[in-house]
Structure 1
Amino acid sequence: MIAWLRTIVFMIVFYSISAPIVLTVPISALFGSRAVIVHSTVWTRFHRWATRWILGIQIRIEGTRPAGAAFYACKHQAMFETLELQALLDGPAIVLKRELADIPAWGWAARRYGAIVVDRDASAKALRNMMREAIAAKATGRSVLIFPEGTRVAPGEHPPLKPGFAGLYRALGMPTVPIACDSGTVWPRKGPKRAGVITFRFGEVVPAGLKREEAEARVHAAMNALDG
């Protein structure tokens, strides 16, 4: 009952305050991507406050984040990390599915933020467009973040990486940092959210230039390190 009460209060507080924040993003977008990054950071920090003080969820960081821009590949178990990593990684360009980018007003602002849009069909044209946008983000000095499994998965599930990861790994030529995340243990897709600790573990940097199979294997293993 306590978990349900916390969850209901969180949803009321977070979404009621998030609505005006999200609806005013297009105003910030008029001033360019940097203004949108600042705007979104305000939102993500509010999200962190709400999860900490309403849901009782704390964050633990393990490993070392390298200095400078990098290509990050993170495990995806909940909505939590999609917001938290925006602030934790200092506003990276995030690979975003087209369904989200097509939302009126918000989608336009997301593009102004520098989101890298990708189609689920993973056609050759879609992958080329994704790589072109990622290279443009790299040219501005930003990191790039992808959730290479393509969708949220439950704890213990280890699906293979989608083709987009290999394409970006090759095209960007950046040091790749895998991130393990266990958010699904306290933030299930269904049911109440539970108090606890969510760990982000920065894995060993995977250098550019490796063969696809080796790069994918190293990233896949590091992303799933918290599953035992």
Structure 2
Amino acid sequence: MAMDTQAGHRQQRRKQRTRDAIQDAALTLFAGRGYRVTTMNAIAEAADVAPRTVTFHFPTKADLLFGADPFTRESLEARLNSRAEGESTLAALRDWMVATMLELSSEAPEAQRRVWRRRALRAQVIGSDDELRARARAGYYPYEQLIAAHLADDLGLPADALVPRLAAATSVTGLRELYQTHEVESSDAAESTDALIALVDQVLAFAEAGIETTR
């Protein structure tokens, strides 16, 4: 049984290494050549795998660009639903962001660099294409709805009230755009969890200030 478990773990690690190589190659090509003109065959060649291996792990180019984000809606929903009494939605949102960042930072340095490099490349690719920007924004809308519902509960307002919706949109937009700011584009900040957390605090302080003006 132990040998079977070890073999299973080795297989999972090999699978993850293959996925990492494919996604790293894809994002590098998307940023260097352009998302539209990059083919799955070119990605397979750059990753040194067969084309069918690419499509097995990532059926489409969109899966390569938008997949494998550690900041999942499911984990955010779980964190918001487990808030302590008196803990605000924005405080829980910050804790979720920080906890996810610190979890990433606990990995080996090479893995950390890979994650942040991917996010920077993804932001670069999406930011240069109107259609991809629109798709990315649509993908974040469920996060806005979730945060707005909890903010409305904090404020004693209906879930579709303007203030919680504005605050949620501000928070999500700010956190999304964070990776395209000058601070994160600099080589030092891109690998600094502390620098990123400071920017998260700026975003959420901005959203909180907007809520305060309506009280």
Provide the TM-score with structure 1 as the length reference: 0.28
Higher relative contact order (CA 8 A, sep 6+): 1
Higher helix share: 2
Higher strand share: 1
Provide the TM-score with structure 2 as the length reference: 0.29
Higher Cα Rg, which structure: 2
